[in-house]
């Protein structure tokens, strides 16, 4: 089972097996796709479709990493007049609350007043989407940056430099928000229930002893098996995030201590 | 210092409880982003946890909008409202 972050040689280090990394990376990829799918500036919109038509090819849409770059590439390829036109369209186009409750967790309403919420969303949602997507991509790269020939039972160090810790914690939050929504974790009691259940299962003799991982990698056609896996991932991410944040809080105290000598 | 906008309504940034966000993370956000002391951040976090929400900042609308945006980036559920609302 994954080991939480601790401070080592100035970095924050956790231990994850290869299968755990792959599954966490897949989850991050799924959430990136979800975010990309909520891009309100989609090619179906009827303005300057030519520019977006060029970038939004099948490959661009299929690749979650590429889909989000599309807007940036589109904007940078436009001349000034078209840039302003696109910017105005972006600001003027009404923003709708996400219909998907998981996406709504990631891109929440800023007010219970619909007019205020819509205006806030219109001005901030695109940047928020991009920011979260970039963060998830960086997290994925961190997960996959490991010796792929390693024995799959091996616990491989995952090193987060302190400068990247806040972004990593943010990515973990987003993943847990989506999981909680899909698993219908509606309040803290539900969340506690998941952790207890996962810990209990971990203490039972595993039916898959000798398998590569402690993750309940059952038949993915079985809804209950998938749910078990998602619960386990939710618990692992909780462990990772909480331990990472403990390191970050220690880092805050260190910053203050180091600043002291500068005070006259 | 004279507040030239003394008659302009002040706005509030409110952070809401949710079942996912970890208590130590919420506390970290309050310390790191707002610069609150450990004890103030802890008190606000506990207020969110026990009462369902807490006012984490008060000020001009533009500043509060930025704060709410930042809270959303951190993954916290946050809203803004006028003090008069």
Residue carrying structure tokens 């969110």: B48
Distance from B9 to chain A by nearest Cα, in Å? 15
Task: Name which of A25-29, A42-46, A202-206, A217-221 the model is least confident about.
Answer: A42-46
Q: Is the pTM of this model over 0.95?
A: no
Distance from A115 to chain B by nearest Cα, in Å? 12
pLDDT digits (tens, 9 = 90+) for B41-61: 999 999 999 999 999 999 999
Residues in B lying within 8 Å of A, measured between beta carbons: 18-22, 24-25, 27-28, 31-32, 65, 68-69, 72-75, 77-81, 85
CA distance B24 to B43: 12
H helical segments located in chain A: 18-37, 49-55, 58-62, 64-77, 80-92, 101-106, 114-144, 162-182, 188-203, 223-259
Residue A193 CB neighbour total at 10 angstroms? 13
Question: Which residues in chain A are closer than 8 Å to B68, comparing Cβ atoms?
Answer: 110, 120
What does A111-170 look like in DSSP terms, one character per residue? Answer: -SSHHHHHHHHHHHHHHHHHHHHHHHHHHHHHHH-S-TTS-TTS-EEEEE-HHHHHHHHH
Residue A185 has its nearest CB partner, among B19, B77, B81, at B19
Residue B80 has its nearest CB partner, among A110, A176, A188, at A110
The pLDDT confidence band at residue A82, using thresholds 50, 70 and 90, is confident
CA distance A168 to B1: 40
Question: Which residues in chain B are closer than 8 Å to A131, comparing Cβ atoms?
Answer: 73
Q: What is the largest CA-CA distance in chain A?
A: 66
Residue A118 clears pLDDT 70, i.e. is over it: yes
Question: Which residues in chain A are closer than 8 Å to B31, comparing Cβ atoms?
Answer: 249, 252
Question: Which residues in chain A are closer than 8 Å to B61, comparing Cβ atoms?
Answer: none
Cβ atoms of residues B67 and B57 within 8 Å: yes
pLDDT digits (tens, 9 = 90+) for B2-37: 555 566 789 999 999 999 999 999 999 999 999 999
Contact at CB, A108 and B78, closer than 8 angstroms? yes
What residues of chain A, 48 to 107, have a C-beta less than 8 Å from chain B? 105-107
Average pLDDT over residues A80-90: 72
Residue A81 clears pLDDT 60, i.e. is over it: yes
């Amino acid at each position: 089972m994954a080991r939480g972050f601790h401070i080592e040689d100035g970095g924050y280090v956790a231990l994850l097996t290869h299968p755990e990394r792959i599954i966490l990376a897949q989850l991050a990829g799924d959430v990136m796709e979800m975010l990309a799918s909520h891009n309100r500036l989609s090619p179906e919109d009827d303005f300057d479709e030519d520019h977006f038509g060029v970038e939004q090819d099948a490959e661009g849409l299929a690749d979650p990493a590429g889909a989000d770059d599309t807007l940036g590439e589109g904007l940078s390829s436009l001349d000034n007049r078209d840039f302003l036109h696109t910017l105005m369209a972006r600001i003027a186009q009404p923003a709708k609350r996400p219909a998907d409750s998981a996406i709504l967790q990631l891109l929440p309403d800023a007010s219970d007043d619909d007019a205020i919420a819509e205006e806030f969303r219109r001005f901030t949602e695109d940047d928020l989407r991009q920011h979260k997507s970039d963060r998830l991509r960086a997290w994925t790269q961190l997960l996959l940056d490991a010796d792929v020939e390693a024995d799959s039972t091996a616990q491989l160090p995952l090193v987060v430099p302190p400068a990247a810790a806040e972004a990593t914690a943010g990515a973990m939050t987003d993943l847990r928000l989506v999981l909680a929504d899909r698993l219908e974790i509606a309040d803290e009691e539900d969340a506690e229930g998941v952790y207890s259940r996962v810990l209990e299962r971990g203490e039972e003799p595993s039916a898959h002893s000798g398998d590569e991982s402690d993750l309940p990698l059952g038949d993915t056609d079985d809804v209950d098996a998938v749910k078990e896996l998602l619960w386990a991932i939710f618990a692992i991410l909780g462990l990772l995030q909480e331990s990472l944040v403990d390191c970050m809080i220690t880092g805050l105290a260190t910053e203050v201590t180091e600043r002291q000598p500068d005070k006259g | 210092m004279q507040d030239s906008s003394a008659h302009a309504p002040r706005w509030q940034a409110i952070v809401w409880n949710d079942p996912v966000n970890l208590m130590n993370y919420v506390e970290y956000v309050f310390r790191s982003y707002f610069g609150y002391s450990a004890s103030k951040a802890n008190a606000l976090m506990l207020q969110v946890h026990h009462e369902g929400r807490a006012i984490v900042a008060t000020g001009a609308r533009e500043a509060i909008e930025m704060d709410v945006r930042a809270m959303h980036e951190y993954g916290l559920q946050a809203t803004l409202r006028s003090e008069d609302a």
